Structure 1
Amino acid sequence: MTTQRRDGDVTTIARIGHSEAMELAAEENRRFLLLLEQLGPEHWGMPTDCTRWSVRDVTVHVIASAEAQASPREFLRQAWQGRKLLSQNSSQHWATRHHDPFSLILTGPAGGRFRRRADNSDDLEIDAIECCRILSGRGRPQGVLRHPLPL
């Protein structure tokens, strides 16, 4: 694959075609594989620039993303599972950021029940995706949801 230098107004650069995109993807995959082949067992658990993600986590993410793009069925499976995982991980992380008692019932496909009760606090029932929106600052918090979670 050759590299071409393009100078000028970016609005005049033609969009790449399918065959060029496939060549670029193949080259990136080749380089990624070469990098992975250089890793030893001691490297997989090392931290990365993505906080809370190890080398293994990033690698799995990249490979799973490629699988999802190659198969509509796999894409839907991952999207369904990802919604559940996002809800669960967000709730667990959010709970470590404050000490208030709560009973949170998240509804929808990504739902679940999460609680830390030290009193007789009422259940707060809310859609899981809406809860993530509120905790990230894109909704109106109520009660214990006033504790933000940077997403």
Structure 2
Amino acid sequence: MTTMTNTAPRRPGLERRTAARLAETEYQRFVDVLRTLTPDEWATPTECPGWDVRAMAGHALGMAEMAASPLESARQQRAARKRDGVLIDALTALQVEEHAHLSTAEVVARFAAVAPKAARARRRVPGLLRRAAVSSGTEHAEKWTVAYMMDVILTRDPWMHRMDIHRAVGSTPVLTAEHDGALVADVVEEWAGRHGQPFTLVLSGPAGGEWSHGGPELRLDAVEFCRFLSGRAPGEGLLAVEVPF
């Protein structure tokens, strides 16, 4: 049961100042994780097909570089559109390929340098542009506002990949209620709006919480909940309703 399509362009549920804070923190946490990786861990396969940790970091770097520069964003999108298949798949493959020549130390250094620029550029997108509608570029072909892309997707993406890296190498992620809890709560609210069914949700862990809307209880770890909704694990019932990351 995958329900991703919406008619009106999707808008962010997060308050803009909150979204900016979450973006800045998530970029820094992603850099912090990369700095801890050993040579063997960089080569560890992840749950994303065909990607090891090194490839995942190359993709994340490419997304941050896109966010930091409108010119770089336009260049990457032009190059991706020349390829076959779903746009987001072509784009991420391009990002992995274009950073494959870098050493792991260079990947970390470039991410650390571009992260504050990406957070600042996203925060400064003017209101008129934020209200513009764009295609999600995914197989579901949703329409999103630029604000939703900037405030929500570009933070969920590195967050989920940070979880992917920790899962791949067997380490414990840094999770706090203020940061990760806010991101997960936003995912829950969007998920609830997408399926429109009664539910009671109890998510454990530092990023968890409780939501009661009069339906059957679901009880699981907060990060695992996001793994289901992102399609990383096969879900049943309401856990099969996908949310973009």
TM-score by length of 1: 0.50
Q: More relative contact order in 1 or in 2 (CA 8 Å, sep 6+)?
A: 2
Q: Is the 8 A contact 2:175 2:207 kept in 1?
A: no
Read off the aligned partner of 1:91 and give its amino acid letter.
V
Which residue of 211, 216, 238 maps to 1:114?
A: 211
The 1:116/1:51 distance shift into structure 2, 3 A limit, reads same
Which structure has the larger Rg? 1
SS in 2 for 1:97: helix
Asked if 1:52 is matched to 2:148, the reply is yes
Identity, % of aligned pairs? 30
Read off the aligned partner of 2:228 and give its amino acid letter.
I
Give distance in 2, aligned partners of 1:45 and 1:112: 35
Instruction: State the 1:45 CA deviation.
Output: 7.2
Q: Following superposition of structure 1 onto structure 2, how do residues 2-151 of structure 1 map, counting pairs within 5 Å?
A: 25=113, 43=126, 46-47=129-130, 50-52=146-148, 80=176, 81-117=178-214, 121-151=215-245
Q: RMSD of the TM alignment (CA)?
A: 4.1
The 1:127/1:79 distance shift into structure 2, 3 A limit, reads closer
The 1:14/1:101 distance shift into structure 2, 3 A limit, reads closer
SS in 2 for 1:52: helix
Kindly indicate which of the two structures has a greater share of residues assigned to helix.
2
The 1:122/1:98 distance shift into structure 2, 3 A limit, reads closer
Off by >2 Å, runs of 4+ in structure 1: 42-46, 48-51, 78-82
Q: Which runs of 5+ in 2 are unaligned?
A: 1-97, 135-145, 156-173
Instruction: State the 1:51 CA deviation.
Output: 4.2
TM-score by length of 2: 0.33
Q: Which runs of 5+ in 1 are unaligned?
A: 1-9, 62-77
The 1:149/1:101 distance shift into structure 2, 3 A limit, reads same
